[in-house]
Amino acid sequence: MKKISIAIDGPSAAGKSTIAKIVAKKLDYVYIDTGAMYRCVGYYCLENNVDLHDENAVTQALDNIKIEMNSANQVFLNQEDVSAKIRHDRISMAASVVSAYQEVRNFLVLQQRQMASQGGVILDGRDIGTVVLPDAQLKIYQVASSKTRAKRRYLENLQRGLEADLDTIQKEIEQRDYQDMHRKISPLKKADDAIEIDTSDLSLEEVVDKVMELVIQKQKEG
Ligand code: DC
């Protein structure tokens, strides 16, 4: 079967990475978690006292940031395994702040395109179908109500042993949606040719089946 490139965009906690990982495994594709890369930049700034709101300082910090990811979905920042550390809610917010900066986006989009250049990839993020891979053969825009997303994140946090308060999580998700959708550069929006999937009332299996159907259809077309 022809290997295609798949873009999954959508707001925070819509289940993009869960679906992308399962679909990548089924297809033997490479999964690239682009949000993890923005999280690494946010994490680096917080750890090294770089003011998140000082765009010049964040831009300068990029010289000291090397991000690597492996096929086991581990994320390394300057050779340190930060896979778990970057999942904290304060890092989510930091990632959202630094992702609004042009130089941060240039730095990461370049790396994402290089990683995706061989095809047979599935990337999830906010700007994959619109900016990173505008020619991706399959573009999905995955959404869910903020209430559903907050509940999912709440349960995930509990499972990971992280602090969890449902109301705070929902408020933070809504704030992040606003920031990601209203920034000047590459705001989150549905690409014209993306297929929207609302996962609010769907099970994980139903979403995976829907995406797999679309993949098979696209592989046939190609
Ligand atoms: O997908 P995530 O929650 O791990 O992403 C963290 C933040 O990074 C998100 O709030 C916005 C930003 N991001 C982005 O701007 N572009 C991407 N392709 C991926 C993430």
Per-residue pLDDT for 93 more than 90?
yes
Distance 201 CA to ligand 1 centre (A): 24
The answer to whether residue 222 sits within a structural domain is no
pTM of the model: 0.95
- What does the alpha-carbon distance between residue 162 and residue 158 come to, in Å, rounded to a whole number? 6
Residue 198 is predicted with a pLDDT of 96
For 200-216, what is each residue's pLDDT tens digit? 999 999 999 999 999 99
What's residue 2's pLDDT? 80
Alpha carbon of 221 to ligand 1 centroid (Å): 31
Q: What is the pLDDT of residue 83?
A: 97
Atom of ligand 1 nearest to the CA of 112: 18
Q: pLDDT-derived band of residue 135, with 50, 70 and 90 as boundaries?
A: very high
Residue 121's alpha-carbon distances to 4, 59, 207, in angstroms, are 7, 28, 18
**CA 125 → CA 36, 48, 165, 219, distances in Å?**
9, 25, 25, 22
The tokens for 151 are: 């509940």
Burial class (CB in 10 A: 0-12, 13-18, 19+), 95: buried
48 CA distance to ligand 1 centroid (A)? 21
Per-residue model confidence (pLDDT) at position 89: 85
Q: How many domains does the chain have?
A: 1
201 vs 89, residue with greater confidence = 201
Q: Which domain holds residue 45?
A: 5-204
161-168 long-range contacts, CB within 8 A, separation 24+? 162/87, 162/88, 162/89, 163/89
Please report whether residue 219 resides in a domain.
no
CB of residue 39 inside a 6 A radius of ligand 1:
yes
Q: Is the CB of 96 under 6 A from ligand 1?
A: yes
Q: What is the pLDDT of residue 163?
A: 77
In a domain, 216, yes or no: no
In the reported structure, the alpha carbon of residue 100 is separated from the centroid of ligand 1 by a whole-number distance in angstroms of: 10
Q: Establish whether residue 92 lines the binding site of ligand 1, counting it when its CB lies within 6 angstroms of any ligand atom.
A: yes
Whether residue 157 lies inside any domain: the answer is yes
CATH of the domain at 55: 3.40.50.300
